[in-house]
A and B are shown apart, each in its own frame.
Chain A
């Protein structure tokens, strides 16, 4: 085999408390399409950030070799100059600028100090032809659909003489036609000598296009498979992706006879005007009293959107379908109404939209149900302290006082404050979105134990999680989502990692 275009040797990248990459090796041959697969959190994106210089030389261990020479990128500009371009899931275009301005943004064609717009437009047209995008270069980017915007990004990369093109989940937001079109384009680029690394959760896509596939799991390289030798198939990929034993870190719970239906959703579809696309399609699901229902699925499969659409629809989706809650047909026009009815939603993004970081623990815990400790609109400060102290004790929040600012707490304790806040509204249905993301094992165990106690008291829990072991370890039933649909429902006995992954990558 000739010298690979890219070789990453023994890459280790640590964040405080976490080893995101552990001695990863990764070789990409010139002119191939190389797919990188793995579960959420396996280290794919981190590896690509190391490669593109987002994490500069010196912040990781190991070597990056391009054409056999060691590279020391100090930033994205260095890696771009070396011919590497990375296209993220969230597109990095300026919506208000035209297509040609975007293509040459930061790489303007100059004539002395001024930009040569004629030459810019001409070259932009050439490169748009290479990606087979038939639009007027003077169109504003915001007027294009997501699929076309992605092509503009690729054109932008090509305009810089890219040799190694990295695409991170390029088809996650695309419909089937656009996806097929994109894959066809990648084949075309391969024939023009552009090497491509594709990160994807959609295994069928991977099988359709890959020359070789590298599987990452828990920050380590598991294997590299060669499609031309028939080594790549869906079961094989799934086996390597999830191939770990589920650690026994889940507290036992007596599974009960399931009770009355707390929540039922029928033919629930949602369209997001902000994103301009359908985000949920014909979702049907039921949640019973005393039950933990897991919702598995990959990122972008519509799980959080489903939760928000049920929780008063704060992002103003256009929704069709029926929702029945505690035996009554309901529509919640705002989170306020959902909360009053007995629904609580613990967000996946506790710093972004869960907590008020500049306020203290007691203020955060009581926020969603202040009226319970107020008389004629005046907050009873003593009752507030009492309530907060109760949750501090029962949830074991580690802090000297409930007057501590939430921003000073660790991730696990912040999550407990979030939980306390939502338990204080005394919900019948608790929706947990990534309840253990970014928190340590001890706090995880405490949260699992708490979930068991809550369902034993008759609460219903919906748990959205990207951690498959957690879903399988805690749920009574599992729904798997893919592309805004319920791809399947599995009783816990039948929910194996392979079965879930097969549905999620459908």
Chain B
């Protein structure tokens, strides 16, 4: 009798605490759930094609060049600015890379860092009028939008589309990491290194979570109830494991995914753990207070726009490499896709709020919509409308949950 009572009480408390955790963290989990739902819907409507190894692999590679822009844009929006120039800057940087490879005959190993540096420089140039003269970033970067569009046309004018025959460069956007040699008896047909990395990621994640939980408990902080904690670990392990399994069934991890994950890791670390990251969020939360706390708002503007410029160059490299060419219209509308991804990912236009992981998920949501609707054969006109509705819904959801939290 007694045990039964305890049992029901316990299961009720589990449901209750799950509900509570979901309610309190709906903003953080919301976009994961949205992505999950969208993928599920497309899995049904496309008869499973959407979740096939090949399609998922393609999807991730397509997301790459928008994802890196969205990561940079997150910080730009966090400090209450915007950068419209990133799309054509990416296009122009892609063209510069193509010219350096094809016409100047430079090796990839030289071209990539050179173009990244040029991007950084371009970002600092955009930052100058914003930080030093107080010009609104919308205007300053709109000028950049026009200039880079012009430059892109200028350098591709004579040649038209520049075909890039360089294999190592094209591998960035199309290649996959090599597999472990031998071991053919183990999981035949699967990409072993990818599996290994996936398992490693899951193990590291679980250990890290357990460690963090122990530290928090040592300080007497509130932690998730044990059942929910295990549920969360299981869910994420399953997700990462699932994606790894699906990818391993095709060609394994692509270089694009490796690059995006590396960028994400660096930006996540910087924003969450470093003095610089704190200063960026402080400037976004209240620039006057940040200035009076000894933070140079100008310096932060230069850093954030500089990083945005560098990521634009990276985006341009990824895109040119994926197409194996630089075209006259490369980068068109990338800036708006990146901004949309950041907003879908929970960045607030009021400043000071937003995570790079969220923006990555936002980018995945947007590309999934395109990819899924393409598979379904939905017309391009409807695709724009649907993506617009999803963007509006995401922002409305975000604003209303924030108001409720207040």
Contact = CB atoms under 8 A, between A and B. Distances in A.
Contacts of A407: 406
A370 B289 contact: no
Contacts of A347: 289, 292
B308 interface: no
A359 B273 contact: no
Contacts of B289: 347, 352-356
Given A355-B286, A359-B285, A401-B221, A345 B292 contact: yes
A114 interface: no
Nearest to B281: A359
Contacts of B294: 312, 334-336, 338-340, 368
A329 interface: no
B200 to A, nearest CB: 23
Interface in B247-299: 273-276, 278-279, 281-282, 285-286, 288-296
B15 to A, nearest CB: 25
B274 A377 contact: yes
A358 interface: yes
B346 interface: no
B352 A371 contact: no
A449 B319 CA distance: 63
Contacts of A465: none
Nearest to B278: A370
B292 A314 contact: yes
A367 B219 contact: no
Interface string B342-361: 00000000001100000000
Interface in A348-391: 352-359, 363, 367-368, 370-371, 374, 377-379, 381-382, 385
A377 B276 contact: yes
A79 B375 CA distance: 65
A311 B293 CA distance: 10
B273 A354 contact: no
A31 B281 CA distance: 57
Contacts of B219: 382, 385
Nearest to A308: B292
B80 to A, nearest CB: 12
B10 interface: no
A379 B286 contact: no
B293 A421 contact: yes
A251 to B, nearest CB: 29
A226 interface: no
B23 interface: no
A116 interface: no
Among A336, A385, A401, max chain B CB count under 10 A is at: A336
A382 B292 CA distance: 25
A353 B292 contact: yes
A358 B278 contact: no
A336 B296 contact: yes
Nearest to A353: B288
Given A377-B275, A401-B221, A358 B288 contact: no
A403 interface: yes
B275 A358 contact: no
B293 A378 contact: no
Interface in A294-325: 311-312, 314
B348 to A, nearest CB: 9
Nearest to B219: A385
B14 to A, nearest CB: 24
Contact of B273 (A356, A357, A378): A378
A485 to B, nearest CB: 25
A356 B295 contact: no
B20 interface: no
A378 B277 CA distance: 9
Given A356-B286, A357-B285, A358-B353, A374 B292 contact: no
Interface in A101-152: none
Interface in B198-231: 215, 219, 221-222
Interface in A160-187: none
Contact of B275 (A359, A379, A421): A379
A437 to B, nearest CB: 17
Nearest to B405: A405
Contacts of A382: 215, 219
B292 A370 contact: no
Given A382-B215, A403-B221, A356 B282 contact: yes
Contacts of A358: 285, 352-353
B273 to A, nearest CB: 5
Contacts of B278: 363, 367, 370, 379
B300 to A, nearest CB: 12
A356 B219 CA distance: 25
Nearest to A366: B278
A379 B276 CA distance: 9
Contacts of A336: 294-296
Nearest to A408: B406
A339 B293 CA distance: 8
Contacts of A367: 278, 282, 290, 293, 295
A93 to B, nearest CB: 22
A335 B292 contact: yes
Contact of A356 (B222, B276, B352): B352
Among B288, B290, B292, max chain A CB count under 10 A is at: B292
A244 B315 CA distance: 70
Nearest to A380: B273
A385 B212 CA distance: 14
A427 to B, nearest CB: 12
Nearest to B293: A368
A426 to B, nearest CB: 13
B288 A352 contact: yes
Interface in B117-152: none
A379 B285 contact: no
A355 B290 CA distance: 9
Nearest to B218: A382
A357 B296 contact: no
Contacts of B274: 374, 377-379
A248 B352 CA distance: 43
B194 to A, nearest CB: 30
Contacts of A371: 275
B296 A334 contact: yes
Nearest to B277: A379
Interface in B12-30: none
B220 to A, nearest CB: 9
Given A370-B279, A377-B276, A401-B221, A354 B292 contact: yes
Contacts of B279: 370
B288 A356 contact: no
A377 B278 CA distance: 10
Nearest to A384: B278
B275 A353 contact: no
A403 B220 CA distance: 12
A357 B235 CA distance: 33
A423 B273 CA distance: 23
A385 B281 CA distance: 18
A501 B4 CA distance: 77
Interface string A480-505: 00000000000000000000000000
B113 to A, nearest CB: 23
A310 to B, nearest CB: 13
A229 B292 CA distance: 52
B390 to A, nearest CB: 26
A146 B290 CA distance: 31
Contacts of B282: 356, 359, 363, 367
A269 B336 CA distance: 49
B285 A356 contact: yes
12 contacts: A334-B294, A339-B293, A340-B294, A354-B292, A356-B290, A358-B353, A359-B352, A367-B293, A377-B274, A378-B274, A379-B273, A382-B215
- Top-8 shortest CB links A-B: A353-B288, A356-B285, A336-B294, A368-B293, A339-B294, A356-B286, A370-B275, A367-B293
Given A340-B294, A379-B274, 6 more contacts: A311-B292, A352-B289, A358-B285, A371-B275, A374-B274, A379-B275
